[in-house]
Amino acid sequence: MKALIKITLKNGVLDPQGKAIEGTLNSLGFSGVNDVRQGKLIEVDLDETERQAAEDMVERMCEELLANTVIEDYSFELLA
């Protein structure tokens, strides 16, 4: 089973990289681009085949290492 884990900065946490991207997009002529936020996408291949167990495991991975919950939110999806 494969897990796709998305990590983004929490709302309210300043994202200077997102801001820079937004500035460049605007200067390239993409108007109406707002609130660009940059994050990470992490792909993990799991031996686990049972869905609930996989979910629990990925949840723990996020809490223990992959996300810094002081500043980051995470979400994930499991692909069979």
Partner 1 sequence: MIRACVIVFPGSNCDRDVKVALEAVTGCPVTMVWHQEDEVPASDIIVLPGGFSYGDYLRCGAMAARSPIMSDVVKKAKAGVPVLGICNGFQVLLETGLLPGALMRNASLNFVCKDIWLKCERVSTSFTQCYRKDQIIRIPIAHHDGNYFADKETLDRIEGENQVVFRYCDRDGNVSEAANPNGSQRNIAGICNESGRIVGMMPHPERLFERALGGTDGRRIFESVVVGVASAMVEGGLPQAQP
Partner 2 sequence: MNEASLNAKAPEITPELVAEHGLAAEEYERLLEIMGREPTITELGIFSVMWSEHCSYKSSRLWLKTLPTTGPNVIQGPGENAGIVDLGDGYAVVFKMESHNHPSYIEPYQGAATGVGGIMRDVFTMGARPIANLNALRFGSPDHPKTKHLLSGVVAGIGGYGNCVGVPTVGGEVNFDSGYNDNILVNAMCVGLARTDKIFYSAAKGVGLPVVYVGSKTGRDGIHGATMASAEFDDQTQDKRPTVQVGDPFTEKLLIEACLELMASDAIIAIQDMGAAGLTSSTAEMADKGGVGFALNLDKVPQREIGMSAYEMMLSESQERMLMIIKPGSEKEAEAVFEKWGLDFSVIGETTDTGHMVVSHQGQVVADIPVKMLADSAPLYDRPWVPTVVPKAILPEWVSAPENGALNALKQLMGTHHLCSRRWIWEQYDHMVMGDTIGRPGGDAAVVRVFKTNKGVAVTCDVTPRYVSADPCMGTKQAVVETWRNLTAVGADPLAITDNLNFASPERPEVMGQIVGSIQGMGEACRTLDYPVVSGNVSLYNETNGQGIPPTPAIGAVGLIPDCTKIADIAIKHEGSLLIVIGREDGWLGQSLYQEMMSGSFEGAPPPVDLADELKAGRLVRTLIREGLLDTVHDVSDGGLLITIAEMALAGDIGVELFPYEGRRPSYAIWFGEDQGRYVLCVKPDMAEEVAERARLLALPARIVGRTGGKDIQLPGEEPLSLVTLRKAHENWLPKYMEH
Q: Contact positions toward partner 2, by CB under 8 A?
A: 20, 23-24, 27
Q: Residue 30 region, left (φ>0) first, then alpha (ψ -120 to 50), else beta?
A: beta
Residue 10 gets which letter from DSSP? P
Question: If we measure between CA atoms, which residue out of 11, 5, 6 comes closest to residue 71?
Answer: 11
CB of 16 to partner 2, least distance (A): 12
Residues 17-46: x where in contact with partner 1 by CB under 8 A, - otherwise, as a string? x--x--------------------------
Query: Quick one: tokens of 54?
Result: 């996989």
**Contact residues for partner 1 (CB under 8 A)?**
12-14, 16-17, 20, 64-66, 68, 70-71
